[in-house]
């Protein structure tokens, strides 16, 4: 009798789940298992928002497994996943563990320990694809055999790699009768200090995720190319949390895409996600330092008051404040807005981009080591896919006019400015005292004055980058 444990992590689904499908095919007994990781739940990069989504996703996974006759066994990892898995494998009399491969430095470190510990006990441990569209991180190389550092040539190479087949969805499963599934924790126990729960967030889990996916693919995706940067339209998929937790499979999604301009543009965004996993896999030091060596000596500020003002959405730049308040309220932020607030933090306030990365990880439902790090390094101009500094040094007022021309996005999240006419909305400091009275927004009282002058901050930033690069 072959007993196989399927260890679930950020792959909380039954559709297109290669480890689960293979276990059902090869095993006499299959034990779906989820371990509550104390490091992920309460560590330095933990998030109350993600913990809530995770709890809902694990609950939904259990429900979906129960619908086909099985169940999900849940246990605490006791701070040591390797030792816990060895103990459970012995307790369950399992001889094999299947799990989905992950690629971040933290996950790779844990997986190495798990494999060594299990194999020392003559228990087979096997990782399988499923997290990414392209599983192998070594097959995508330049003609000289090196790692790509620029997205577009990577994207062309990525498209040529043969894809795996979609794994079959199980229709029946039986958990051994002598195993107690275990209880789920309460939401209250998963709330993290200094990481508030956002009020307006989507429900977690595969069932809700597939509904959101089907809705997006059934029409909105066709307009994605022309509307995805329109902040007020909110025309993106909003699937990033579902993808982060593996409640939907990106490989399955790829097979569902049509050939519209919008579908091709969104497919390219999926490739960006894989690019950042690829980069972090080959350059794990990116988690703590800039990819571009010439910028590792930048003398960043750590001004706590400036950082808190940015976090609170009180900078005096409406588009920045709207975006930061959206994240506080929804645990999510529009991608264009992420670039705007990232540029403002690093290049207007000259605050260390790592401070922004850490804050995003505390609030975002889709907070992800590879993509959060990659995007912050990109907008701070210290990472891969480099461009001249000035091209990613955004004027917040210009960005506001371009991507929220009606001001609807700003008014949605900054109610102090609701009565301000659009001609002043992007730069309210241009209102006279009389106009401030007329429109019910007294600067410095109802809404803050700009905390910095963008034109001056731009000059300073360009000079600092120039000096650090030595030219």
Distance between alpha carbon 366 and the CA centroid of its chain, in Å? 3
- CATH code of the domain in which 12 resides: 3.40.50.620
Residue 243 lies in a domain: no
> What is the number of structural domains in the chain?
2
Residue 150 lies in a domain: no
Condensed to tens digits (0 to 9), the pLDDT of residues 8-45 reads 999 999 999 999 999 999 999 999 999 999 999 999 99
Q: d(Cα 458, Cα 344) in Å, to the nearest integer?
A: 10
The residues that bridge with 195 in the sheet, in sequence order, are 192
Residue 41 lies in a domain: yes
For the record, the structure tokens of 382 come out as 């210290």
H-run or E-run covering 117: helix 105-120
Contacts of 463 (CB under 8 A, 6+ apart): none
- pLDDT of 441 reads 97
Residue 169 lies in a domain: no
Q: How many CB atoms lie within 10 A of CB 455?
A: 8
- Report the largest interatomic distance among the alpha carbons of the chain, rounded to a whole angstrom: 83
The residues that bridge with 466 in the sheet, in sequence order, are none
Distance between alpha carbon 392 and the CA centroid of its chain, in Å? 21
Contacts of 56 (CB under 8 A, 6+ apart): 203, 204, 205
End residue of a domain, out of 94, 113, 130 = 130
Residue 142 lies in a domain: no
CA-to-CA dists, residue 159 to 175, 246, 254, 413, angstroms:
39, 21, 11, 39
Please report which confidence band the pLDDT of residue 471 belongs to, taking 50, 70 and 90 as the band edges: low
- pLDDT of 137 reads 85
Q: d(Cα 62, Cα 432) in Å, to the nearest integer?
A: 60
Q: d(Cα 332, Cα 324) in Å, to the nearest integer?
A: 9
| Residues spanned by the domain of 48 | 3-130
Q: How many CB atoms lie within 10 A of CB 268?
A: 14
- Residue 125's nearest CA partner among 35, 37, 24, 23 is 23
Average pLDDT (231-249) is 97
Condensed to tens digits (0 to 9), the pLDDT of residues 344-364 reads 999 999 999 999 999 999 999
Q: How many residues appear in the chain?
A: 471
Crossing angle, helix 353-363 and helix 318-330, to 10 degrees?
A: 40
pTM: 0.96
End residue of a domain, out of 130, 155, 187 = 130
Condensed to tens digits (0 to 9), the pLDDT of residues 182-192 reads 999 999 999 99
Residue 350 lies in a domain: yes
Contact between residue 351 and residue 307 where contact means Cβ atoms under 8 Å apart:
yes
End residue of a domain, out of 130, 146, 172 = 130
Mean pLDDT of the chain: 97
Place of tokens 């497994």: 65
Average pLDDT (242-252) is 98
Write phi, then psi, for 374 (nearest 5 degrees).
-60, -45
Q: How many CB atoms lie within 10 A of CB 214?
A: 11
Contact between residue 333 and residue 442 where contact means Cβ atoms under 8 Å apart:
no
Condensed to tens digits (0 to 9), the pLDDT of residues 406-454 reads 999 999 999 999 999 999 999 999 999 999 999 999 999 999 999 999 9
Condensed to tens digits (0 to 9), the pLDDT of residues 70-104 reads 999 999 999 999 999 999 999 999 999 999 999 99
Contact between residue 188 and residue 318 where contact means Cβ atoms under 8 Å apart:
no
Residue 273 lies in a domain: no
Contact between residue 302 and residue 352 where contact means Cβ atoms under 8 Å apart:
yes
Whether the CA torsion 242, 247, 252, 256 is positive or negative: it is negative
Residue 426 lies in a domain: yes
- CATH code of the domain in which 380 resides: 1.10.579.10
């Amino acid at each position: 009798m072959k007993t196989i444990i399927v260890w679930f992590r950020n792959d909380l689904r039954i559709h297109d789940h290669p480890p689960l499908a293979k276990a059902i095919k090869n095993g006499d007994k299959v034990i779906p298992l989820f371990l509550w990781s104390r490091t992920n739940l309460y560590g330095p990069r933990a998030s109350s928002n993600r913990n809530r989504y995770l709890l809902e996703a694990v609950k939904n996974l259990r429900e979906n497994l129960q619908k086909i006759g099985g169940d999900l066994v849940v246990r605490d990892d006791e701070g040591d996943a390797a030792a816990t898995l060895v103990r459970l494998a012995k307790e369950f009399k399992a001889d094999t563990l299947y799990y989905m491969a992950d690629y971040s430095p933290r996950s790779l470190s844990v997986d190495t320990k798990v494999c060594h510990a299990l194999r020392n006990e003559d228990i087979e441990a096997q990782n399988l694809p499923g997290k990414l569209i392209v599983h192998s991180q070594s097959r995508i190389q330049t003609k000289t055999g090196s790692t790509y550092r620029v997205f577009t040539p990577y994207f062309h190479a990525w498209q040529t790699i043969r894809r795996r087949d979609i794994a079959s969805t199980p229709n029946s499963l039986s958990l051994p009768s002598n195993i107690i599934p275990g209880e789920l924790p309460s939401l209250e126990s998963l709330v993290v200090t200094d990481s508030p729960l956002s009020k307006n967030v989507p429900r977690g889990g595969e069932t809700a995720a597939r509904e959101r996916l089907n809705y997006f693919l059934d029409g909105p995706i066709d307009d994605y190319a022309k509307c995805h940067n329109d902040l007020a339209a909110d025309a993106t998929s909003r699937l990033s949390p579902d993808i982060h937790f593996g409640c939907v499979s990106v490989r399955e999604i790829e097979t569902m895409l049509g050939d519209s301009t919008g579908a091709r543009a969104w497919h390219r965004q999926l490739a960006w996600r894989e690019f950042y996993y690829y980069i972090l896999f080959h350059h794990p030091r990116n988690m703590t330092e800039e990819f571009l060596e010439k910028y590792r000596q930048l003398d960043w500020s750590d001004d706590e008051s400036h950082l808190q003002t940015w976090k609170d959405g009180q900078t005096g730049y409406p588009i920045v404040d709207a975006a930061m308040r959206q994240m506080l309220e929804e645990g999510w932020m529009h991608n264009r807005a992420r670039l705007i607030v990232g540029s403002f933090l690093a290049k207007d306030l000259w605050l260390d981009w790592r401070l922004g990365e850490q804050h995003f990880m505390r609030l975002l439902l889709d907070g992800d080591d590879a993509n959060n790090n990659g995007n912050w390094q990109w907008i701070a101009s210290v990472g891969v896919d480099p461009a001249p500094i000035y091209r990613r040094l955004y004027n917040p007022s210009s960005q506001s006019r371009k991507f929220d021309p009606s001001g609807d996005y700003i008014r949605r999240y900054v109610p102090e400015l609701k009565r301000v006419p659009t001609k002043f909305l992007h730069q309210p400091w241009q209102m006279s005292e009389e106009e401030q009275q007329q429109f019910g927004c007294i600067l410095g009282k109802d809404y803050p004055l700009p905390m910095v002058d963008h034109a001056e901050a731009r000059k300073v930033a360009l000079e600092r980058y120039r000096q650090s690069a030595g030219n």
